[in-house]
Amino acid sequence: MPPAALRRADRTVIPGPGLPSLESLGITSDDLYDETWLAQNTPSLLNTSLGDSSSTPGPNRLHRRVSCLPRMNVDKANARACLAYLTRAGNTNGCGTRVPGTPTACPPAANGALCSAGCAQITGCAYRTIEAVSACSDVAYGGHVIMRECSREGDFTSGGHDVAWGNGNFIVGFLGCR
């Protein structure tokens, strides 16, 4: 469904547990869907070059490798609203997720919801570690790569997963309604 056709009920952005409220950031759900507001307040989300294709080098770091998964497709307008929220949350290190044990994969049940809008969720999962924490803006950047690399022309959906910028142990994913 094209962004203009989204029902008002589908345009509510809900931050994940422990993350800043929209009010505390001085924004509304309507702002996060408004093209003019997005261009003025989150230009990096709309115009960022993908730049370096790897995450921060070091032991146990993953090279950036976006995986496009059509079964994880979500409405791009809802995903972009969540990514704009996470960009606005900036350096808030609350975009962390704790997973018991030392996982070798990120099953959907282990994903922590960082933001929801309509039938779209931006999720995070620790990979090869018990805990992974990244700035919300770095999580948004990983989501932005998914949007850029996993969208098809004429299709208003995108889906997949990638690593947060600067933290190869933090997997960012899109999760839709089942």
List the alpha helices (DSSP H) in 22-93.
29-33, 35-41, 43-47, 76-89
Cα 128 from Cα 25, distance rounded (Å): 32
pLDDT beneath 50, residues of the chain: 1-4, 48-62, 99-102, 109-110
Query: What is the phi/psi pair of residue 138, to 5°?
Result: -70, -35
What value does the mean pLDDT of the chain take?
76
What's the confidence (pLDDT) of residue 158? Answer: 86
Question: Helices 76-89 & 136-149, crossing angle to 10 degrees?
Answer: 150
Give tens-digit pLDDT for 31-70.
Answer: 999 989 988 887 666 554 434 434 344 444 445 578 888 7
